[in-house]
Chains A and B, each alone.
Chain A
Amino acid sequence: MGKSSKDKRDAYYRLAKEQGWRARSAFKLLQLDEEFDLFEGVTRVVDLCAAPGSWSQVLSRVLIQGERIGRAAWEDKRYNEILRLREAGEIPGPSAEDEGPPATEPRQDVKIVAIDLQPMSPLEGITCLKADITHPSTIPLLLKALDSEYDSSSTSIEASHPVDLVLSDGAPDVTGLHDLDIYIQSQLLWAALNLALCVLKPGGRFVAKIFRVKDVDILYAQLKVVFESVIVSKPRSSRASSVEAFIVCSNFRPPPGFKASLDNPLGSATKLNSSDTAVSRPPEPTRRVRDDGITELDLGLDNLDLVQMNTRWIAPFLACGDLSAFDADASHKLPEGHVSLDPVQPPTAPPYRQALEERKKQGGAYGKTKLGDLR
């Protein structure tokens, strides 16, 4: 696919390049923020699985530089224009959403730690660590980065100055064996949650990428034990055709007496247990007419979690990003005079890079040589 055709196929890919983001994922975080006000009153943040760093860029611009990045950054101007034209046949004016230069109010005592397996180009004011989030040795690393006084010889794995928000955008290299990929993704989510349990302050928030697939309801049920509210959200910048979504967990409330444990981290083997709930028959279906006129039918299925002893629960779904936001699935016309830009960050080298190079040395195009000849 040519550079320009990718720009057309994916509006966010083009916008990211134009606005200097290292990845199109920046818009996912921005749209989640638009819906959930993620950065309200937040100064201390951990960004897990952060490379190449577009989420960290967002954090830097919002928290450190105090910028306000509004909807105008990802709004498809045509949307409101078409609607306006339809309504009154009026001459289109400038989009109402167009804002003046963003107000800047840098925040005090901002602390941002970003972690990834892959090396990440430095960002001013952000501590970048190269580490595996599933690995226990990462916990002391993170604690040290958050608090320079942290004594790494101590056995404590709790932050003395906890953070307000833990983000994780981790995704494995998928294999195509669906249930294995689902399992690995859930392990990344567990790892992120374990780190969050160590560093998050009560009332804090946890936002993480999740695959909405088979058994995702088991994960929802577990998250619901430690957070008051668990909502699964899909930003407009995430393609409808992908299983990716983000779990927004608010009001961290560790159960009484809870201590994060290194030897017994949460994961598939260790589950959170909530207070026992009696197995009850689900109530009769109920109907409710919403403000928008749609009748919602509650089949009582929601109470299935009671039947299933909290092992399965379907978190409420909320799409985020206004409808005027660019549609990640739509094909777009390129603005006039469009020049396709190079990505802000070149992609990192895959593990098979050496293999590619060796093969090239062995003689031209991929696969031309008999592979067994190599040594």
Chain B
Amino acid sequence: MLKRKMLMNWSWPLKIAREVEVTRLYPEVMMELPDAERGLHELDATKCIGCASCARVCPNSCIEMVPYRYGNPLKNKKMQYPQIDYGRCMFCGLCVDECPAECLKMGKKVTMAGWERDEIVRGPEKIAVKKFSEKEEQALEAEAKRIAAEKAAAKKAAAKEGAKKPGAAGAAGANNKAAKKKTAPAGEGAPASKASGKPSEKTAGAAAEEAKAEANPKVGGAT
């Protein structure tokens, strides 16, 4: 009897030697966290407007704005996105409350041990849970370029107009600006964003009318 027990004891190390996992997780099932949990941050890169409000409100200054590619160039002109230093973060959630686009959230993930620095100082590619794919990104970039070109063209046209009617130049320029602001959202009929491509309804002056008329058909063609 005893012999058998001893044999069994000897067989134990042989048995576990074959198993890869030696350290077991305990408790075996993680505690269920509530929906309100303030864990690691989650960024919706498709919505972030790069306003840096989150970076300004952080009491520990752990947010830095860094460049990142897979966001929305139509909303975030400079393509700057938050990078969070978890060595300093105290999970107070002020950054989340302050975000005007409601794209920064705190998730349920709370474990964050890592081997490398970038697992503690997490850049946008680490915290982004939603981002554009390469293809969508290219389309968006093209769209952004096109809108920029369009604006340049509109500006040129306005300048010509101004040259034709000297004296009204200042007013025309101002109106033109307003018109451009209105037309910008129309360009957002891009893949993931749901912004409607409605042209602006308010009209401001003859020059603005002209600029709009010039821009709108093209947008309609693109969407």
**Are both chains from one complex?**
no
Residues of B in contact with A (beta carbons under 8 Å apart): none
